[in-house]
Amino acid sequence: MAVPLMQAVRVGRYVLKQHLSGRKRYPLVLMLEPLFRCNLACAGCGKIDYPAQILNQRMSLQDCLDADAECDAPVIAIAGGEPLLHKEMPEIVKGLVGRRKYVYLCTNGLLLEKKIDDYEPSPFFSFDVHLDGDKSMHDSSVCQDGVFDRAVAAIKLAKSRGFRVSINCTLFDGADPKRVAAFFDEVMAMGVDGIMTAPGYAYERAPDQEHFLNRQKTKQLFRDIFRLGKGKKWRFTQSPLFLNFLAGNETYHCTPWGKPLRTVFGWQRPCYLLGEGYAKTFKELMDDTAWEQYGTGAYEKCADCMVHSGYESTAVMDAVKRPWHIAKVALTGPETEKPMAPEIPLTNQRPAEYRYEKQVEEQMAVLSTRRPARGPRVRVHGNDTPARETFTDAAD
């Protein structure tokens, strides 16, 4: 089991409590993006294409603790950008773990060797290292040679120091099921605690727009991978029903409020993947977002999405309603041979709206009213230098 028993019990108890209390919408995982700055510039990433003034913004330790207090989800995933670039990250992790939250720190691993002494192993804390496949798949995905080897060295180091470590594997069009299956064997042999996998979301700001999967291809790819995994002991950090959904066996609707995102801009509407606006408070996000306008079948930008941000919460809630169903799938693995579940029709979806430029304009206007930050200390990194822009740690 990739998720420790105590974590599964506590999260299950939380979900059951929400369900029994009749709460209509509740968070399962708080997604925190305390910075957008990264030391890589991956082709499929739509998170880092901002002006330097925005990339230099950070959520402070207090901002992160306040976000947790507002949201109060049992699990917290810290993403970015690259969280290890944030100077207060050890205190942020310590503060959240001290509140007995299950914290996953998502990292590309490049700075882990340098920073590992700042962190302590805990059953509440995991490093979640980005690895999009074997050496050539991953280095091509992150647009830099040598990153796979450094990430693997970081995984081995973290495991040797007693940390929990999972990997985060995003798959794109053209992925070869046999290579992915061999890669899952490889990471299991490294001793990782679990694999988190999903298809890439077609970010409108990602430089490579040609390699995102549509829903049909996603389902076939995951079926082919899971077929090769039958009888193997791959451990996933995700709900078996979410994996069953990826393999085309569930007609799930999106639950974007299950994994709310807090960034340097505020609470992002509606989800981790789509920035269609920002709320000042978590309550405002939950109460004032027109949730019915999002999800596959409702909005053009959601048409091909099968990402855990929206659909894993649906799977977890389904498990509460149909415990016998999750028990069966957990026992037998996702179905790979029977006809797929019906797809959601797209005929009534509303057209995409494009808001990026306006949002950047608004954020830049807000920043221009603030006191200028300390003068930047420019540090040009060897292998840590991103392709799109020279990285500085000006606002760390």
Interaction site with ligand SF4 (CB under 6 A): 254, 256, 270-271, 273-274, 294-296, 302, 305, 307, 309-310
Q: Please give the Cα distance from 95 to 111 (Å, whole number).
A: 21
- Shortest Å distance, C-beta 107 to ligand SF4: 22
Residue 41 or residue 305: which is nearer to ligand SF4 going by CB? 305
Is the Cβ of residue 158 or residue 286 nearer to ligand SF4 in the bound state?
286
Of residues 248 and 256, the one with the C-beta less far from ligand SF4: 256
CB 150 within 8 A of CB 107: no
Per-residue tokens: 347: 């005929």
Q: Residue 149 has which token pair? A: 């080897």
CB of 77 to ligand SF4, least distance (A): 14
Q: Which is nearer to ligand SF4, 143 or 254 (CB)?
A: 254
- CB of 271: closest distance to ligand SF4 in angstroms? 3
> What is the rounded distance in angstroms from the CA atom of residue 37 to the CA atom of residue 389?
10
Task: Say which amino acid occupies 114.
Answer: K
> What residue is closest to ligand SF4 based on CB?
310
Structure tokens at 390: 């020279």
Pick the closer one to ligand SF4 by CB: 36 or 294. Answer: 294
Pick 14 or 291: Cβ nearer ligand SF4? 291
The letter for the amino acid at 252 is: Y
How far apart are alpha carbons 259 and 80 in whole angstroms? 15
Min dist. Cβ of residue 254 to ligand SF4 (A): 3
CB 215, min distance to ligand SF4, A? 11
Q: Round to whole Å and give the CA distance between 40 and 395.
A: 18
When the beta carbons of 167 and 305 are compared against ligand SF4, the nearer one is: 305
Residue (155 or 221) nearer to ligand SF4, CB: 221
Q: How far is the CB of 51 from ligand SF4 (least distance, A)?
A: 24
- Secondary structure in 3-state letters for the chain: CCCCHHHHHHHHHHHHHHHHHCCCCCCCEEEEECCCCCCCCCCCCCCCCCCHHHHCCCCCHHHHHHHHHHHCCCEEEECCCCHHHCCCHHHHHHHHHHCCCEEEEEECCCCHHHHHHHCCCECCEEEEEECCCCHHHHHHHCCCCCHHHHHHHHHHHHHHCCCEEEEEEEECCCCCHHHHHHHHHHHHHCCCCEEEEEECCCCCCCCCCCCCCCHHHHHHHHHHHHHHHCCCCCCECCCHHHHHHHCCCCCCCCCHHHCCEEECCEEEEECCCCEEEEECCHHHHHHHCCHHHCCCCCEHHHCCCCCHHHHHHHHHHHHHHCHHHHHHHHHHCCCCCCCCCCCCCCCCCECCCCCHHHHHHHHHHHHHCCCCCCCCCCCCCCCCCCCCCCCCCCCC
Least distance in angstroms from the C-beta of 375 to ligand SF4: 38
**Shorter beta-carbon distance to ligand SF4: residue 163 or 201:** 201
> Smallest distance from the beta carbon of 302 to ligand SF4, in angstroms?
3
**Smallest separation (angstroms) from ligand SF4 to the CB of 6:** 28
Which of residues 236 and 257 has its CB atom nearest to ligand SF4 in the complex?
257
User: Residues for the chain: how many in total?
Assistant: 396
Least separation in angstroms between CB 296 and ligand SF4: 5
